[in-house]
Amino acid sequence: MIISGNFFYRGRIIDCAVEIEDGLIVDISKNKRGKRLKGIVMPAGIDVHVHFRDFKESYKETIETGSLSALYGGVCLVVDQPNTNPPITDEKVYFERMRKAERSTYIDYSLNLGLIEENSEKIKNIIEKIEEKYYIPAIGEVFLKNAMMVSYETLERVRKSTSKIITVHAEDPKEEDDVLAEVKAVERCLKIGNFHFCHISTSKALNMIYESNSTSEVTPHHILHSREKIDFRVNPPLKSNEERIMLFKNFQKADILASDHAPHTIEEKKEGKPGFPGVEVVYPIFFYMAKKGEISLNELVKKFSKNPAKIFNLSRYGEIEVGKYANFVVFDPSDERRIRSDDLHSKVGWTIYEGFMAIFPREVYIRGEKVLEDGDVLVDKGFGEVL
């Protein structure tokens, strides 16, 4: 199969043809012709931080509904987090989760392993058992306070015992000021070793990580919302508008853009449950921002496709390149529209991005197969591969 069009290739948009065999890109050429796609063809997104709930929390999201929402947002692969109910801290629950994903995911799916004090001594053995069948992208997100909390001492011991990426939710348990809590946690962790830091929300912490050998991710909600604007709770908390602006000014220093998709019912939000849904709107909002010149298209691709694949060793993903999966998203830059919660597909049915301008994908291809066109899903649940 040969597809031609305006592809984002090696940092710029070029008119070319992409030849696909068995789901992989085998050639990219200006001399061939094939079915022409209308619009700009981008690498599909990779969201390395989602909470698809399910298990005992299936009333607010499932792998099926979460992956469907991701598909509509131009995401071809997610990394799900282990703080489910029950939590994913041993091989038994991990295998149960993956079997569920095999039956229900619309897109490609992977899953981190949780770290708690109780499994820290045997984490290496658990990893070995799981990786006889599945690929674990990382250990984490590791919590330094609240649910599934581990101590710095345990984190240091596990860091020394495994070469696996460890992702950290950086909030110091003894610090009440939310800005200082993040900065102190990052500072302490950097003294221990290299980590991937989830959802960084302060410019100082981001700069500290940028100057180290560790990596970072930022979220749309910490970049686009401040605590003055929204009083809903999230961890780490939304910061002041001044801090939000500083974080956005340093956006280029972040390695990854991730949604931290963490859906709760609106009733639970009123009760103070932390987290927002968002996997469906990251790419559409930031593609619109790139069109308006607020960020560069190259930075968006690096943070939402290329770097996630590189950092988490997802070798066939992340770029439009020979040897990679033919995972594409086709955007029509003229198709601007406002986000409405009624149009989204997360089970909870609300969004903090109501009214934001966005450009949603017109078509999505996963491993060369068209899976979405003009709002219609063309595959069944279970289509996605489980890593």
**260 annotated active-site:** yes
Q: Which residue in 260, 332, 376, 380 is the catalytic one?
A: 260
What is the 3-class SS of the chain, one letter each residue? Answer: CEEEEEEEECCEEEEEEEEEECCEEEEEECCCCCEEEEEEEEECEEEEEECCCECCECCCCCHHHHHHHHHHCCEEEEEECCCCCCCCCCHHHHHHHHHHHHHHCCCEEEECECCCHHHHHHHHHHHHHHCCCCCCCCEEEEECCCCCECCHHHHHHHHHHCCCCEEEECCCCCCCCHHHHHHHHHHHHHHHCCCEECCCCCHHHHHHHHCCCCEEEECHHHHHCCCCCCCCCCCCCCCCHHHHHHHHHCHHHCCEECCCECCCCHHHHHCCCCCECCCCCHHHHHHHHHHCCCCCHHHHHHHHHHHHHHHCCCCCCCCCCCCCECCEEEECCCCCEECCHHHCCCCCCCCCCCCCEECCCCEEEECCEEEEECCEECCCCCCCCEC
Positions marked active-site? 260
